Structure 1
Protein backbone atom coordinates (compact mmCIF):
# COMPACT_ATOMS: atom_id res chain seq x y z
CA UNK A 1 0.00 0.00 0.00
CA UNK A 2 1.29 3.46 -0.87
CA UNK A 3 1.97 5.90 1.94
CA UNK A 4 -0.78 8.42 2.59
CA UNK A 5 0.03 12.00 1.61
CA UNK A 6 -0.97 15.13 3.44
CA UNK A 7 -3.34 17.56 1.73
CA UNK A 8 -2.56 21.21 0.91
CA UNK A 9 0.03 20.16 -1.63
CA UNK A 10 0.41 23.65 -3.07
CA UNK A 11 0.66 24.55 -6.76
CA UNK A 12 2.28 22.06 -9.09
CA UNK A 13 5.63 23.57 -10.09
CA UNK A 14 6.38 23.21 -13.81
CA UNK A 15 10.02 24.28 -13.60
CA UNK A 16 12.15 21.43 -14.89
CA UNK A 17 9.16 19.26 -15.79
CA UNK A 18 8.38 17.80 -19.21
CA UNK A 19 5.00 18.11 -20.91
CA UNK A 20 4.00 16.00 -23.91
CA UNK A 21 1.19 17.46 -26.02
CA UNK A 22 -0.51 15.49 -28.77
CA UNK A 23 -1.87 17.69 -31.54
CA UNK A 24 0.56 20.28 -30.24
CA UNK A 25 1.38 22.09 -33.47
CA UNK A 26 -1.82 24.14 -33.76
CA UNK A 27 -5.02 25.26 -32.06
CA UNK A 28 -5.57 24.30 -28.43
CA UNK A 29 -2.43 22.16 -28.38
CA UNK A 30 -0.16 25.00 -29.51
CA UNK A 31 -1.77 27.45 -27.07
CA UNK A 32 -1.23 24.94 -24.28
CA UNK A 33 2.41 24.48 -25.28
CA UNK A 34 2.97 28.23 -24.99
CA UNK A 35 1.35 28.46 -21.56
CA UNK A 36 3.18 25.47 -20.10
CA UNK A 37 6.52 26.63 -21.55
CA UNK A 38 6.00 30.07 -19.98
CA UNK A 39 5.81 28.31 -16.61
CA UNK A 40 9.11 26.53 -17.13
CA UNK A 41 8.17 23.20 -18.69
CA UNK A 42 10.04 21.67 -21.59
CA UNK A 43 7.55 20.71 -24.28
CA UNK A 44 7.39 17.72 -26.60
CA UNK A 45 5.16 19.04 -29.39
CA UNK A 46 3.35 16.07 -30.87
CA UNK A 47 2.36 16.31 -34.51
CA UNK A 48 1.01 14.12 -37.28
CA UNK A 49 1.24 16.09 -40.53
CA UNK A 50 2.24 19.46 -39.05
CA UNK A 51 5.97 18.95 -38.73
CA UNK A 52 6.91 22.43 -39.96
CA UNK A 53 4.40 24.04 -37.59
CA UNK A 54 5.77 21.99 -34.69
CA UNK A 55 9.35 22.96 -35.50
CA UNK A 56 8.44 26.64 -35.77
CA UNK A 57 6.54 26.51 -32.49
CA UNK A 58 9.42 24.75 -30.71
CA UNK A 59 11.78 27.49 -31.85
CA UNK A 60 9.44 30.24 -30.66
CA UNK A 61 8.64 28.95 -27.18
CA UNK A 62 10.29 30.47 -24.11
CA UNK A 63 12.97 28.33 -22.54
CA UNK A 64 14.99 25.73 -24.38
CA UNK A 65 15.09 22.04 -25.22
CA UNK A 66 11.61 21.82 -26.76
CA UNK A 67 11.10 18.84 -29.04
CA UNK A 68 8.95 18.45 -32.17
CA UNK A 69 7.71 14.87 -31.85
CA UNK A 70 6.08 12.65 -34.46
CA UNK A 71 3.03 11.38 -32.57
CA UNK A 72 0.25 10.18 -34.91
CA UNK A 73 -2.88 8.95 -33.16
CA UNK A 74 -3.60 6.09 -35.57
CA UNK A 75 -0.17 4.43 -35.34
CA UNK A 76 0.46 2.64 -32.04
CA UNK A 77 4.01 1.67 -33.00
CA UNK A 78 4.87 5.32 -33.69
CA UNK A 79 3.30 6.34 -30.37
CA UNK A 80 5.47 3.82 -28.52
CA UNK A 81 8.51 5.08 -30.44
CA UNK A 82 7.65 8.63 -29.37
CA UNK A 83 7.61 7.56 -25.71
CA UNK A 84 11.05 5.99 -26.17
CA UNK A 85 12.31 9.22 -27.76
CA UNK A 86 10.98 11.35 -24.88
CA UNK A 87 12.66 9.05 -22.35
CA UNK A 88 15.96 9.20 -24.26
CA UNK A 89 15.81 12.98 -24.65
CA UNK A 90 14.44 14.04 -21.26
CA UNK A 91 14.46 11.00 -19.00
CA UNK A 92 11.01 11.92 -17.73
CA UNK A 93 7.46 12.95 -18.59
CA UNK A 94 5.31 14.74 -16.03
CA UNK A 95 2.35 16.08 -18.00
CA UNK A 96 0.53 14.55 -20.95
CA UNK A 97 -2.08 16.61 -22.77
CA UNK A 98 -4.20 14.67 -25.25
CA UNK A 99 -5.21 17.47 -27.59
CA UNK A 100 -5.10 15.67 -30.94
CA UNK A 101 -8.50 15.01 -32.45
CA UNK A 102 -10.49 14.97 -35.64
CA UNK A 103 -14.05 15.32 -36.84
CA UNK A 104 -16.17 15.94 -39.90
CA UNK A 105 -19.34 17.96 -40.03
CA UNK A 106 -22.19 15.55 -40.73
CA UNK A 107 -25.84 16.46 -40.07
CA UNK A 108 -27.07 14.22 -37.28
CA UNK A 109 -30.28 13.33 -39.11
CA UNK A 110 -28.43 12.12 -42.21
CA UNK A 111 -27.47 8.65 -40.99
CA UNK A 112 -26.21 7.51 -44.38
CA UNK A 113 -23.80 10.42 -44.66
CA UNK A 114 -21.90 9.23 -41.59
CA UNK A 115 -20.16 6.34 -43.32
CA UNK A 116 -18.16 3.60 -41.63
CA UNK A 117 -14.79 4.98 -42.71
CA UNK A 118 -15.51 8.40 -41.17
CA UNK A 119 -16.90 6.85 -37.99
CA UNK A 120 -13.87 4.59 -37.58
CA UNK A 121 -11.38 7.40 -38.27
CA UNK A 122 -12.98 9.63 -35.64
CA UNK A 123 -13.08 6.88 -33.00
CA UNK A 124 -9.52 5.76 -33.68
CA UNK A 125 -8.12 9.30 -33.50
CA UNK A 126 -10.23 10.58 -30.60
CA UNK A 127 -10.44 7.48 -28.40
CA UNK A 128 -7.97 4.75 -29.27
CA UNK A 129 -5.24 7.30 -29.95
CA UNK A 130 -5.39 8.92 -26.49
CA UNK A 131 -5.60 5.49 -24.88
CA UNK A 132 -2.57 4.25 -26.81
CA UNK A 133 -0.68 7.40 -25.87
CA UNK A 134 -1.50 7.08 -22.17
CA UNK A 135 -0.56 3.39 -22.29
CA UNK A 136 2.79 4.14 -23.95
CA UNK A 137 3.71 6.99 -21.61
CA UNK A 138 2.32 5.49 -18.38
CA UNK A 139 5.62 3.93 -17.21
CA UNK A 140 7.41 7.24 -17.68
CA UNK A 141 4.61 9.23 -16.03
CA UNK A 142 4.42 6.81 -13.08
CA UNK A 143 8.14 7.06 -12.49
CA UNK A 144 7.89 10.61 -11.15
CA UNK A 145 5.05 9.68 -8.80
CA UNK A 146 3.14 12.91 -9.39
CA UNK A 147 2.00 13.18 -13.00
CA UNK A 148 -1.03 14.59 -14.78
CA UNK A 149 -2.91 13.57 -17.92
CA UNK A 150 -5.32 16.12 -19.39
CA UNK A 151 -7.74 14.93 -22.05
CA UNK A 152 -9.25 17.64 -24.25
CA UNK A 153 -12.87 16.57 -24.48
CA UNK A 154 -15.98 18.53 -25.45
CA UNK A 155 -19.39 19.65 -24.24
CA UNK A 156 -20.63 17.39 -27.06
CA UNK A 157 -19.89 14.43 -24.78
CA UNK A 158 -22.65 15.66 -22.46
CA UNK A 159 -25.29 17.13 -24.74
CA UNK A 160 -24.80 15.09 -27.92
CA UNK A 161 -24.71 18.28 -29.98
CA UNK A 162 -21.56 18.38 -32.03
CA UNK A 163 -20.17 18.27 -35.53
CA UNK A 164 -21.28 14.66 -35.97
CA UNK A 165 -22.78 11.83 -33.96
CA UNK A 166 -19.45 10.01 -34.17
CA UNK A 167 -17.65 13.02 -32.69
CA UNK A 168 -20.12 13.21 -29.78
CA UNK A 169 -19.71 9.48 -29.17
CA UNK A 170 -15.93 9.73 -29.26
CA UNK A 171 -15.80 12.47 -26.63
CA UNK A 172 -18.23 10.62 -24.37
CA UNK A 173 -15.99 7.58 -24.68
CA UNK A 174 -12.93 9.70 -23.86
CA UNK A 175 -14.61 10.95 -20.67
CA UNK A 176 -15.65 7.47 -19.55
CA UNK A 177 -12.19 6.14 -20.34
CA UNK A 178 -10.84 8.90 -18.09
CA UNK A 179 -12.94 7.57 -15.22
CA UNK A 180 -11.50 4.09 -15.63
CA UNK A 181 -7.92 5.26 -16.03
CA UNK A 182 -8.15 7.60 -13.05
CA UNK A 183 -8.86 4.56 -10.87
CA UNK A 184 -6.11 2.32 -12.15
CA UNK A 185 -3.35 4.93 -12.57
CA UNK A 186 -3.74 6.57 -9.17
CA UNK A 187 -2.04 7.66 -7.02
CA UNK A 188 0.94 8.42 -9.28
CA UNK A 189 -1.11 9.83 -12.16
CA UNK A 190 -4.28 11.91 -12.09
CA UNK A 191 -6.61 12.19 -15.08
CA UNK A 192 -8.59 15.36 -15.81
CA UNK A 193 -10.79 16.22 -18.80
CA UNK A 194 -11.25 19.75 -20.13
CA UNK A 195 -14.48 20.17 -22.09
CA UNK A 196 -14.95 23.32 -24.18
CA UNK A 197 -17.88 24.14 -26.42
CA UNK A 198 -17.15 25.76 -29.80
CA UNK A 199 -13.61 27.15 -29.91
CA UNK A 200 -12.48 29.77 -32.41
CA UNK A 201 -10.21 27.51 -34.47
CA UNK A 202 -10.39 25.78 -37.84
CA UNK A 203 -10.87 22.40 -36.15
CA UNK A 204 -14.22 21.58 -37.73
CA UNK A 205 -13.77 21.48 -41.53
CA UNK A 206 -16.19 23.83 -43.22
CA UNK A 207 -17.33 25.57 -40.02
CA UNK A 208 -17.22 29.33 -40.48
CA UNK A 209 -16.25 31.84 -37.84
CA UNK A 210 -19.81 33.17 -38.09
CA UNK A 211 -21.02 29.79 -36.86
CA UNK A 212 -18.68 30.02 -33.87
CA UNK A 213 -19.91 33.55 -33.14
CA UNK A 214 -23.52 32.36 -33.38
CA UNK A 215 -22.86 29.61 -30.85
CA UNK A 216 -21.09 32.04 -28.51
CA UNK A 217 -24.12 34.35 -28.68
CA UNK A 218 -26.24 31.51 -27.29
CA UNK A 219 -24.13 31.21 -24.13
CA UNK A 220 -24.87 33.09 -20.89
CA UNK A 221 -21.40 34.69 -20.91
CA UNK A 222 -21.56 35.57 -24.64
CA UNK A 223 -17.82 35.19 -25.06
CA UNK A 224 -16.07 33.62 -28.04
CA UNK A 225 -13.83 30.90 -26.62
CA UNK A 226 -10.26 31.14 -27.88
CA UNK A 227 -7.64 28.36 -27.81
CA UNK A 228 -5.80 30.24 -25.09
CA UNK A 229 -8.91 30.15 -22.86
CA UNK A 230 -8.79 26.37 -23.03
CA UNK A 231 -5.02 26.39 -22.50
CA UNK A 232 -5.47 28.41 -19.32
CA UNK A 233 -7.97 25.83 -18.07
CA UNK A 234 -5.40 23.11 -18.77
CA UNK A 235 -2.81 25.05 -16.80
CA UNK A 236 -5.23 25.47 -13.89
CA UNK A 237 -6.03 21.74 -13.91
CA UNK A 238 -2.36 20.80 -13.93
CA UNK A 239 -1.03 23.33 -11.44
CA UNK A 240 -3.84 23.96 -8.95
CA UNK A 241 -6.39 21.15 -9.01
CA UNK A 242 -4.04 18.87 -7.12
CA UNK A 243 -6.81 16.74 -5.59
CA UNK A 244 -8.90 16.40 -8.75
CA UNK A 245 -8.94 13.23 -10.81
CA UNK A 246 -11.44 11.25 -12.85
CA UNK A 247 -13.60 14.21 -13.77
CA UNK A 248 -14.15 16.65 -16.64
CA UNK A 249 -14.36 20.40 -16.32
CA UNK A 250 -16.57 22.48 -18.60
CA UNK A 251 -15.05 25.54 -20.29
CA UNK A 252 -18.16 26.43 -22.26
CA UNK A 253 -19.21 29.96 -21.25
CA UNK A 254 -22.28 28.36 -19.66
CA UNK A 255 -23.47 26.79 -22.91
CA UNK A 256 -24.69 23.70 -21.03
CA UNK A 257 -27.27 25.88 -19.30
Structure 2
Protein backbone atom coordinates (compact mmCIF):
# COMPACT_ATOMS: atom_id res chain seq x y z
CA UNK A 1 0.00 0.00 0.00
CA UNK A 2 1.55 3.32 -1.07
CA UNK A 3 0.36 6.90 -0.83
CA UNK A 4 -0.69 8.63 -4.05
CA UNK A 5 0.39 12.26 -3.75
CA UNK A 6 -2.65 13.34 -5.78
CA UNK A 7 -5.12 11.36 -3.68
CA UNK A 8 -7.41 12.99 -1.09
CA UNK A 9 -6.41 10.05 1.12
CA UNK A 10 -2.73 10.97 1.09
CA UNK A 11 -1.56 12.06 4.55
CA UNK A 12 2.05 12.90 3.75
CA UNK A 13 3.29 15.69 6.02
CA UNK A 14 0.54 15.20 8.58
CA UNK A 15 1.31 14.44 12.24
CA UNK A 16 -1.05 11.99 13.95
CA UNK A 17 -1.27 10.92 17.58
CA UNK A 18 -3.08 7.64 18.27
CA UNK A 19 -3.66 6.79 21.92
CA UNK A 20 -3.58 3.13 22.85
CA UNK A 21 -1.80 2.39 19.62
CA UNK A 22 -0.05 -0.85 20.54
CA UNK A 23 -2.96 -3.22 19.85
CA UNK A 24 -6.48 -3.67 18.52
CA UNK A 25 -8.12 -0.75 16.77
CA UNK A 26 -5.30 1.59 17.80
CA UNK A 27 -2.63 -0.52 16.17
CA UNK A 28 -4.69 -0.80 12.99
CA UNK A 29 -5.00 3.00 12.95
CA UNK A 30 -1.25 3.48 13.38
CA UNK A 31 -0.50 1.10 10.51
CA UNK A 32 -3.15 2.61 8.22
CA UNK A 33 -2.24 6.25 8.78
CA UNK A 34 1.48 5.53 8.42
CA UNK A 35 0.86 3.58 5.21
CA UNK A 36 -0.73 6.67 3.72
CA UNK A 37 2.16 8.96 4.62
CA UNK A 38 1.38 10.33 8.08
CA UNK A 39 4.04 10.62 10.76
CA UNK A 40 2.46 8.70 13.64
CA UNK A 41 3.01 8.95 17.37
CA UNK A 42 1.33 6.36 19.56
CA UNK A 43 0.87 6.03 23.29
CA UNK A 44 1.48 3.14 25.64
CA UNK A 45 0.33 2.73 29.24
CA UNK A 46 2.72 4.63 31.46
CA UNK A 47 4.27 2.43 34.14
CA UNK A 48 2.87 -0.77 32.59
CA UNK A 49 4.14 -1.09 29.03
CA UNK A 50 7.71 -0.62 27.82
CA UNK A 51 8.47 1.82 24.99
CA UNK A 52 11.18 -0.30 23.39
CA UNK A 53 9.00 -3.39 23.39
CA UNK A 54 6.05 -1.48 21.94
CA UNK A 55 8.17 -0.03 19.14
CA UNK A 56 9.73 -3.41 18.40
CA UNK A 57 6.25 -4.68 17.63
CA UNK A 58 6.04 -2.29 14.69
CA UNK A 59 9.28 -3.44 13.04
CA UNK A 60 10.63 -0.82 10.64
CA UNK A 61 7.50 1.33 10.66
CA UNK A 62 8.62 4.90 11.50
CA UNK A 63 6.54 5.61 14.59
CA UNK A 64 7.32 7.14 17.98
CA UNK A 65 6.00 5.92 21.34
CA UNK A 66 4.97 8.09 24.28
CA UNK A 67 3.88 7.16 27.82
CA UNK A 68 0.34 8.08 28.87
CA UNK A 69 -1.76 7.52 31.98
CA UNK A 70 -5.29 8.76 31.28
CA UNK A 71 -5.99 8.90 35.03
CA UNK A 72 -3.33 11.57 35.49
CA UNK A 73 -3.78 15.12 34.16
CA UNK A 74 -0.03 15.77 34.36
CA UNK A 75 0.69 12.65 32.29
CA UNK A 76 -1.81 13.82 29.68
CA UNK A 77 -0.16 17.25 29.51
CA UNK A 78 3.31 15.69 29.23
CA UNK A 79 2.16 13.38 26.45
CA UNK A 80 0.59 16.10 24.29
CA UNK A 81 3.47 18.50 24.90
CA UNK A 82 6.05 15.81 24.20
CA UNK A 83 4.54 14.79 20.88
CA UNK A 84 4.13 18.42 19.81
CA UNK A 85 7.73 19.19 20.79
CA UNK A 86 9.16 16.17 18.98
CA UNK A 87 7.14 16.53 15.79
CA UNK A 88 6.44 20.27 15.74
CA UNK A 89 2.65 20.02 16.02
CA UNK A 90 -0.25 17.55 16.11
CA UNK A 91 -2.65 17.59 13.15
CA UNK A 92 -4.74 14.52 13.97
CA UNK A 93 -5.68 13.17 17.38
CA UNK A 94 -7.27 9.73 17.60
CA UNK A 95 -8.57 9.15 21.13
CA UNK A 96 -8.65 5.37 21.09
CA UNK A 97 -7.22 4.35 24.47
CA UNK A 98 -9.81 3.03 26.93
CA UNK A 99 -10.55 0.24 29.36
CA UNK A 100 -13.35 -2.31 29.25
CA UNK A 101 -14.90 -4.71 31.72
CA UNK A 102 -11.99 -7.15 31.48
CA UNK A 103 -9.07 -4.76 31.15
CA UNK A 104 -10.12 -2.49 34.02
CA UNK A 105 -9.72 -5.51 36.31
CA UNK A 106 -5.96 -5.15 35.90
CA UNK A 107 -6.16 -2.00 38.02
CA UNK A 108 -8.46 -3.26 40.79
CA UNK A 109 -10.64 -6.24 41.68
CA UNK A 110 -13.16 -4.06 43.52
CA UNK A 111 -16.29 -3.43 41.33
CA UNK A 112 -16.86 0.07 42.72
CA UNK A 113 -13.27 1.09 42.11
CA UNK A 114 -13.47 -0.39 38.63
CA UNK A 115 -16.53 1.73 37.86
CA UNK A 116 -14.72 4.88 38.98
CA UNK A 117 -11.68 3.98 36.90
CA UNK A 118 -13.84 3.30 33.85
CA UNK A 119 -15.26 6.81 34.04
CA UNK A 120 -11.92 8.41 34.91
CA UNK A 121 -10.04 6.78 32.02
CA UNK A 122 -12.65 6.56 29.27
CA UNK A 123 -14.55 9.80 29.89
CA UNK A 124 -12.45 12.24 31.92
CA UNK A 125 -9.19 11.13 30.31
CA UNK A 126 -10.63 11.64 26.83
CA UNK A 127 -11.98 15.05 27.87
CA UNK A 128 -8.55 16.18 29.05
CA UNK A 129 -6.84 14.83 25.91
CA UNK A 130 -9.27 16.87 23.79
CA UNK A 131 -8.71 20.00 25.84
CA UNK A 132 -4.93 19.76 25.63
CA UNK A 133 -5.04 19.10 21.88
CA UNK A 134 -7.40 21.99 21.19
CA UNK A 135 -5.23 24.32 23.28
CA UNK A 136 -2.27 23.73 20.96
CA UNK A 137 -1.59 26.24 18.19
CA UNK A 138 -2.52 24.65 14.92
CA UNK A 139 -3.10 25.32 11.27
CA UNK A 140 -6.05 24.43 9.05
CA UNK A 141 -7.36 20.93 8.65
CA UNK A 142 -6.87 19.59 12.17
CA UNK A 143 -8.90 16.50 13.05
CA UNK A 144 -10.13 15.25 16.42
CA UNK A 145 -11.44 11.69 16.26
CA UNK A 146 -12.88 10.05 19.37
CA UNK A 147 -13.50 6.30 19.56
CA UNK A 148 -16.67 5.57 21.51
CA UNK A 149 -18.82 2.41 21.23
CA UNK A 150 -22.21 1.37 19.91
CA UNK A 151 -23.05 0.49 23.53
CA UNK A 152 -23.59 3.87 25.15
CA UNK A 153 -22.50 5.96 22.18
CA UNK A 154 -25.46 4.93 20.02
CA UNK A 155 -27.87 2.76 21.96
CA UNK A 156 -28.36 0.71 25.14
CA UNK A 157 -27.99 -3.03 25.59
CA UNK A 158 -29.51 -4.87 28.57
CA UNK A 159 -26.73 -6.24 30.75
CA UNK A 160 -24.11 -3.84 29.43
CA UNK A 161 -21.99 -2.60 32.32
CA UNK A 162 -23.37 0.75 33.49
CA UNK A 163 -20.04 2.50 33.94
CA UNK A 164 -18.82 1.27 30.56
CA UNK A 165 -21.92 2.50 28.74
CA UNK A 166 -21.90 5.78 30.67
CA UNK A 167 -18.27 6.43 29.74
CA UNK A 168 -18.93 5.80 26.05
CA UNK A 169 -22.07 7.96 26.12
CA UNK A 170 -19.96 10.73 27.65
CA UNK A 171 -17.49 10.50 24.76
CA UNK A 172 -20.31 10.79 22.22
CA UNK A 173 -21.75 13.82 24.03
CA UNK A 174 -18.30 15.37 24.35
CA UNK A 175 -17.84 15.02 20.60
CA UNK A 176 -21.10 16.78 19.80
CA UNK A 177 -20.44 19.56 22.31
CA UNK A 178 -16.90 20.22 21.07
CA UNK A 179 -18.13 20.18 17.48
CA UNK A 180 -20.82 22.73 18.33
CA UNK A 181 -18.27 25.02 19.94
CA UNK A 182 -15.76 24.61 17.09
CA UNK A 183 -18.20 24.96 14.21
CA UNK A 184 -16.31 28.04 12.89
CA UNK A 185 -12.84 26.83 13.86
CA UNK A 186 -10.17 25.12 11.79
CA UNK A 187 -10.70 21.74 13.44
CA UNK A 188 -13.12 18.95 12.58
CA UNK A 189 -14.51 16.80 15.39
CA UNK A 190 -15.96 13.29 15.04
CA UNK A 191 -16.69 10.12 16.97
CA UNK A 192 -16.74 6.53 15.76
CA UNK A 193 -18.86 3.97 17.62
CA UNK A 194 -17.71 0.45 16.71
CA UNK A 195 -19.79 -2.63 17.33
CA UNK A 196 -18.45 -6.09 18.18
CA UNK A 197 -14.84 -5.80 16.99
CA UNK A 198 -12.19 -8.50 16.83
CA UNK A 199 -9.82 -7.05 19.42
CA UNK A 200 -7.97 -8.49 22.42
CA UNK A 201 -10.21 -6.38 24.68
CA UNK A 202 -13.41 -7.86 23.25
CA UNK A 203 -11.86 -11.31 23.35
CA UNK A 204 -11.10 -10.90 27.06
CA UNK A 205 -14.41 -9.31 28.05
CA UNK A 206 -16.82 -11.45 26.02
CA UNK A 207 -15.59 -14.08 23.60
CA UNK A 208 -13.26 -15.93 25.98
CA UNK A 209 -16.17 -16.59 28.34
CA UNK A 210 -18.27 -18.41 25.75
CA UNK A 211 -18.25 -22.13 25.04
CA UNK A 212 -17.48 -23.23 21.49
CA UNK A 213 -21.16 -23.82 20.77
CA UNK A 214 -22.27 -20.56 22.35
CA UNK A 215 -19.55 -18.63 20.53
CA UNK A 216 -20.69 -20.06 17.21
CA UNK A 217 -24.24 -18.93 17.87
CA UNK A 218 -23.10 -15.52 19.09
CA UNK A 219 -21.08 -14.86 15.94
CA UNK A 220 -23.90 -16.08 13.72
CA UNK A 221 -26.24 -13.61 15.39
CA UNK A 222 -24.04 -10.60 14.76
CA UNK A 223 -24.75 -8.31 11.79
CA UNK A 224 -23.45 -10.03 8.64
CA UNK A 225 -22.67 -13.04 10.85
CA UNK A 226 -19.19 -11.88 11.80
CA UNK A 227 -17.05 -9.61 13.94
CA UNK A 228 -15.87 -6.24 12.67
CA UNK A 229 -12.14 -6.20 12.00
CA UNK A 230 -9.93 -3.43 13.46
CA UNK A 231 -8.74 -2.55 9.96
CA UNK A 232 -12.31 -1.63 9.01
CA UNK A 233 -12.50 0.92 11.82
CA UNK A 234 -9.03 2.18 10.90
CA UNK A 235 -10.27 2.81 7.36
CA UNK A 236 -12.94 5.12 8.78
CA UNK A 237 -10.33 6.90 10.89
CA UNK A 238 -8.24 7.34 7.75
CA UNK A 239 -11.14 8.89 5.84
CA UNK A 240 -11.97 11.23 8.72
CA UNK A 241 -8.31 12.28 8.84
CA UNK A 242 -8.49 13.62 5.30
CA UNK A 243 -10.01 16.75 3.73
CA UNK A 244 -13.13 15.03 2.36
CA UNK A 245 -14.52 14.47 5.86
CA UNK A 246 -15.10 18.16 6.61
CA UNK A 247 -18.85 17.99 5.88
CA UNK A 248 -19.16 15.34 8.62
CA UNK A 249 -18.00 17.75 11.35
CA UNK A 250 -19.89 16.81 14.51
CA UNK A 251 -20.91 13.36 13.30
CA UNK A 252 -21.09 10.46 15.75
CA UNK A 253 -20.79 7.54 13.37
CA UNK A 254 -22.51 4.23 14.02
CA UNK A 255 -19.85 1.75 12.90
CA UNK A 256 -21.58 -1.37 14.21
CA UNK A 257 -22.62 -2.89 10.86
CA UNK A 258 -26.28 -2.45 11.86
CA UNK A 259 -26.30 -3.44 15.54
CA UNK A 260 -26.96 0.15 16.56
CA UNK A 261 -30.20 0.32 14.58
CA UNK A 262 -31.24 -3.21 15.58
CA UNK A 263 -29.86 -3.70 19.11
CA UNK A 264 -32.14 -6.65 19.82
CA UNK A 265 -30.59 -8.66 17.01
CA UNK A 266 -28.78 -11.12 19.26
CA UNK A 267 -31.95 -11.96 21.19
CA UNK A 268 -33.81 -12.69 17.95
CA UNK A 269 -31.89 -15.90 17.34
CA UNK A 270 -34.17 -18.90 17.03
TM-score (normalised: structure 2): 0.80
Task: Determine the structure 2 residue equivalent to 1:54.
Answer: 54
* 1:235 equivalent in structure 2: 238
Q: Distance in 1 between matches of 2:189 and 2:216?
A: 31
Which ranges of structure 1 fall in alignment gaps of 5 or more residues? 1-9, 106-112
User: Structure 1 residue 207 and structure 2 residue 219: aligned?
Assistant: no
Distance 1:212 1:230, change over 3 A: farther
Cα contact 1:25–1:50 (8 A) shared by 2: no
The verdict on how the C-alpha distance between 1:19 and 1:214 changes in structure 2, with shifts beyond 3 A counting, is farther
Tell me whether 1:75 sits opposite 2:79 in the alignment. no
Preserved contact between residue 19 and residue 97 of structure 1 (Cα < 8 Å): yes
The answer as to whether partners of 1:213 and 1:224 remain within 8 angstroms in 2 is no
Task: Quote the residue 1:159 is aligned against.
Answer: 155
CA 1:120–1:91 in structure 2 vs 1: closer, same or farther (change >3 Å)?
same
SS in 1 for 2:200: coil
The CA distance in 2 between the partners of 1:216 and 1:191, in whole Å, is 32
Q: Is the 8 A contact 1:55 1:68 kept in 2?
A: yes
The aligned residue for residue 110 of structure 1 is none
Indicate the SS of the match to 2:247: coil
Segments ≥4 residues shifted beyond 6 Å: none
d(CA) in 2 for partners of 1:222 and 1:237? 27
What corresponds to 1:38 in structure 2? Answer: 35
Other-structure match for 1:127: 123
- 1:221 counterpart residue number: 224
Residue in structure 2 matching 1:146, options 141, 157, 163: 141
Cα shift at 1:242: 2.1
2:20 matches 1:23: yes
Superposed CA RMSD in Å reads: 2.3
The alignment partner of 2:225 has SS state of coil
Query: Is the 1:15–1:41 Cα contact (8 Å) retained in structure 2?
Result: yes
Q: Does 1:98 align with 2:101?
A: no
> Offset at 1:206?
4.2
- Indicate conservation of the 8 Å contact 1:191/1:246, yes or no: yes
Aligned-partner Cα distance in 2 for 1:218–1:152? 24
Alpha-carbon offset, residue 53 of structure 1: 4.7
Distance 1:57 1:242 in 2: 33
Please, which runs of 5 or more residues in structure 2 have no aligned partner? 1-6, 103-108, 263-270
CA gap of 1:114–1:214, structure 2 versus 1, over 3 A, is farther
Q: SS at the partner of 2:201?
A: coil
CA distance in 2, matches of 1:213, 1:133: 39
> What CA distance in whole angstroms lies between the structure 1 residues aligned with 2:91 and 2:215?
34
Paired positions, count: 237
